[in-house]
Chain A
Amino acid sequence: MANFTISNSSVSAQVSQQSMTTTYKTLLATAATSATTGPAIALKRGKLFDLLVGTNGTPGDQAMEYQVARTTVGSTFVYGGIVSSIGQQQLDPADSNMSSFAIVNSSAENFTITANSDQFYVAVNQRASYRWVAAPGSEIVWPATASAGLVGRAKSPTGYTGTATMQWIFLEQ
């Protein structure tokens, strides 16, 4: 089991964060895959156990909604490159690279969201930041099935047009 962290920081993702609108914008997505630009890798389950969200725009009083839902990743998403280039990091440098692939700051909402599958939801003032930590055994799990994974999204129903941040810490097994 190896632990990883990814965030939608523009620096590590190498793609700009998307401005918020009244519809969901994808900040992060990960899904199991056996496809890779390097050696073939095995499908692995992922378990999300730590989640941090917030905004990094001009402070104000707007509502924000954050959601993590199950998804099947489409084929025409726009993403920040292969896994090794988007700033995912092993928490233990001795571990191997992540076998799931990650999509950061997608500019195309080409995710099939499974109906009624939101695994996490919170609506807060944009000034607030938010963290959820799972106890062992209570993680959000995605299966070792190709293209199945989780997507983290955010929107502002009241008009915040700045950018939002999200960071995940998860393990693969």
Chain B
Amino acid sequence: MRNAGGYFTVISPTPGEVRLNSRGGPREAICEGTTEIDSFTCYHCGRVMMVLPKMRPEDLGGLCRMCMKLVCDRCVGHGCTPLEKQLELAERKGIALRSYGL
């Protein structure tokens, strides 16, 4: 993919399969030796998603039309709350709790 957010390297002594999505989905065959797969990081939750060859876009996730960033299948259709904003909220909450001595 263009402008990949990272890449995976699987080094296997034998041909095999790899599953790259905790929510199920197809297994990807890997060859003997080194297999490389591009990835992107969901802009809303930070999850790393693998981009397999000829993968259907709807299986991959989607493009958020608010922030114009790639998001994972778990975040599609759940509004636009970028991870950066979530982190800032968590940090502000922590600062507030510490200021109260909690």
Interface residues of A (CB under 8 A from B): 43, 45, 49, 67, 116-125, 127-135, 137-141, 143-146, 148
A137 close to B90 (CB less than 8 A): no
A67 close to B22 (CB less than 8 A): yes
Question: How would you classify the secondary structure of chain A's contact residues: helix, strand, loop or mixed?
Answer: strand
B25 smallest CB distance to A (angstroms): 11
A34 and chain B: residue at smallest CB distance: B98
B16 close to A132 (CB less than 8 A): no
| B13 touches which of A127, A133, A146 (Cβ 8 Å) | A127
A119 close to B19 (CB less than 8 A): no
User: What A residues does B41 contact at CB under 8 A?
Assistant: 134, 138-140
| CA distance in complex: A130, B30 (Å) | 12
A145 close to B18 (CB less than 8 A): no
| B83 touches which of A116, A129, A134, A141 (Cβ 8 Å) | A141
Which residue, of A121, A129, A139, A148, has the highest number of chain B Cβ atoms within 10 A? A121
| CA distance in complex: A45, B84 (Å) | 11
The size class of the interface chain B forms with chain A is 20 to 34
Question: A135 with B6: in contact, given A140-B48, A143-B87 (CB under 8 Å)?
Answer: yes
A130 close to B10 (CB less than 8 A): yes
A148 smallest CB distance to B (angstroms): 7
B6 close to A133 (CB less than 8 A): yes
A143 close to B46 (CB less than 8 A): no
| CA distance in complex: A116, B13 (Å) | 32
Question: A124 with B18: in contact, given A119-B48, A131-B8, A138-B41 (CB under 8 Å)?
Answer: yes
User: What A residues does B17 contact at CB under 8 A?
Assistant: 125
Question: A121 with B21: in contact, given A116-B74, A133-B6, A140-B48 (CB under 8 Å)?
Answer: yes
